[in-house]
Amino acid sequence: MPRIQVCSCIGCPAHDGSCPQLSPARHCPACSAQREQQRGSKRQRGYGADHDRLRRRWKPKVEAGLVDCQAEVCLLPQRRIWLGMEWQLGHTPDRTAYRGPEHKLCNEAEGGRMSHGG
């Protein structure tokens, strides 16, 4: 049975103050939709045809288990990205180039560190 929790959104324009909704996900559907709208589309965030093309080029190598996580700090015990693991293309810190495939967890953690000055 999924765990039900209070939506963790605070100050969301979809609600006045904190969100009172219960949800099995981190955010309720209304807050999730609002957050996605604020982020902008994939293209607006800079992930266009070049990104899609590069990801398609890496995909067979990643799925064959031939690629290690390229994150500066890999958070998993083994750097290898195995079949079935979620992965993303990691950027250089200045976002002018791609480093290569990274575990989704590592890529998002690095993005969080960068957005908080670090």
- Do residues 60 and 82 both lie within one domain? yes
Specify the pairing of strand 22-23 against strand 5-6: antiparallel
- Do residues 111 and 53 both lie within one domain? yes
- Do residues 55 and 83 both lie within one domain? yes
Question: Residue 107: helix, strand or coil by DSSP?
Answer: helix
- Do residues 71 and 106 both lie within one domain? yes
Instruction: Name the pTM for this structure.
Output: 0.63
- Do residues 35 and 60 both lie within one domain? no
Distance, CA of 2 to CA of 46 (rounded, Å)? 34
Q: Smallest Cα–Cα separation from 17: which of 6, 26, 25?
A: 6
- Do residues 31 and 67 both lie within one domain? no
pLDDT digits (tens, 9 = 90+) for 24-77: 777 777 777 777 777 667 666 667 888 899 999 999 999 999 999 999 999 999
For residue 77, being part of any structural domain is answered with yes
Question: Residue 98: helix, strand or coil by DSSP?
Answer: strand
Helix and strand element counts for the chain (H, E): 3, 4
For residue 108, being part of any structural domain is answered with yes
Amino acid at 55: R
Residue 64, domain extent: 49-115
